[in-house]
Structure 1
Amino acid sequence: MTRQEVPIVLAPTQDPASRLLAALFQRVGVMDLLEVERANGSMEAVVDRMLASIPGANVLDERVGPFYDTAGLRAWFKMSRQTLDAQARAGDVLCVMSGDNQRLYPSFQFDANGSLLPRLREVLAALDPGREALWGDAVWLNAPVDELDGLTPAQALRRRRGDEVVRLAQQAGAFRLG
């Protein structure tokens, strides 16, 4: 039997760790955990991936947000690595490199349905035409801007304020290059 029913019921509590574990236990009971472990290499790798998607679990989350790795995005979008790499090179998807040379994709650029941030390519081309400061681009997209009524450029793009964001990206890019 590869699937295990996990009949764990935890008493309601105000403790955030207990609430997290209770929600997790409810969901893993219907999963084939041996397959999950095999597909990810180890349970530690599963936990690392889970934590990477939780806001606040990583130091950079405060500035950029949680990240998806290449395998996670490929599975979600059902695309090849080459297609994902091409989208990153074109600026349709923002990809940053970790200190250990892993490709990371900030989650802010995707909505819950997987739709990409509108006009991201245009904004990145204006902000950083040489694609030289991708971490800085990610931070810029997530920094509140007075000219956008306190919204971040990423939030403003989702609210269809792309013209304003592109103009601000052009100004920031000119300042960076100037």
Structure 2
Amino acid sequence: MSRTVDTTAVEALAAAVRERVEARAAELEAQGRTLELEDVEELAERMVAALPTVHPLDEPLAPFYDTAGLVAWLGISRQALFDRVRRGTVLAARTSDGHLVYPSLQFGRNGQVRPGVQDAVGIFTRAGVDGWTVGAWLTTPSEVFEGHSAVDYLVVHRSSAAAVAHVAEAAAADAARWAA
């Protein structure tokens, strides 16, 4: 889903920055100094660097459930959810601020983890692979899956027993290779 930029907020930010830069220039002038803004583009880049960024995994893995939302939807306790994560029956990824998020792509309409996805998550969890890596593996197109991602391969093949087995075999091969 594409979001447009709130132009009012951008204009307010630009005005606030202008106000602060002008105030700083006035302070420096009062000291007999001048404000040097030689590389305006570099300064703009440094300022924009403080804004939230798009992570390469946001698009293929998002949207995410947070713990409270998933617990409510599934009608289970937090402990039951954490137990599923620990056992590798639900994929979770830890954010930089320590929270767990759960990619929605793993769930069917009834809240069950999709066949094949659950198999791969379990294999990788037992091998100690982190959630972000598992998510990337599930969503990255591969020749192993006829140019599809593992998730799309399962969709194309309607999660047939053969497709589920193929995904599980590929996950086990990669997990073994990564552990070596």
Match of 2:126 in 1: 129
3-state DSSP of counterpart to 2:65: strand
Q: Distance in 2 between matches of 1:129 and 1:88?
A: 11
What corresponds to 2:32 in structure 1? none
Structure of larger gyration radius: 2
Q: TM-score, normalised by structure 2?
A: 0.61
1:117 CA drift (Å):
1.5
Which structure is richer in relative contact order (CA contacts within 8 A, separation 6 or more)? 2
Query: Tell me, which stretches of 5 or more residues in structure 2 are unaligned?
Result: 5-52
Q: TM-score, normalised by structure 1?
A: 0.62
Change (3 A) 1:128 1:83: closer
Q: Map of 1:137-152 to 2, 5 A cutoff? A: 137-152=134-149
Quick one: percent identity of the two aligned structures? Answer: 32
Pairwise CA distance, 1:58? 5.4
Question: Pick from 104, 116, 132: which aligns with 2:113?
Answer: 116
Q: 1:74 aligns with which of 67, 71, 74?
A: 71
Comparing 114-123 and 160-169, the one that deviates more: 114-123
- Partner letter of residue 177 of structure 2? F
Structure 1 segments unaligned to the other structure (5+ residues) = 1-15, 18-56
Return closer, same or farther for 1:128/1:81 CA change in 2, 3 Å cut-off. Answer: closer
Aligned to 1:48: none
More helix by share: 2
Please give the alpha-carbon distance, in whole angstroms, between the structure 1 residues aligned to 2:146 and 2:139. 14
Query: Aligned partners of 1:163, 1:94: CA distance in 2, in Å?
Result: 19
Aligned-partner residue type, residue 102 of structure 1:
H
| Aligned residues between the structures | 125
Deviations 1:117-143 (A, max 9, x none): 214343234335232422111110111
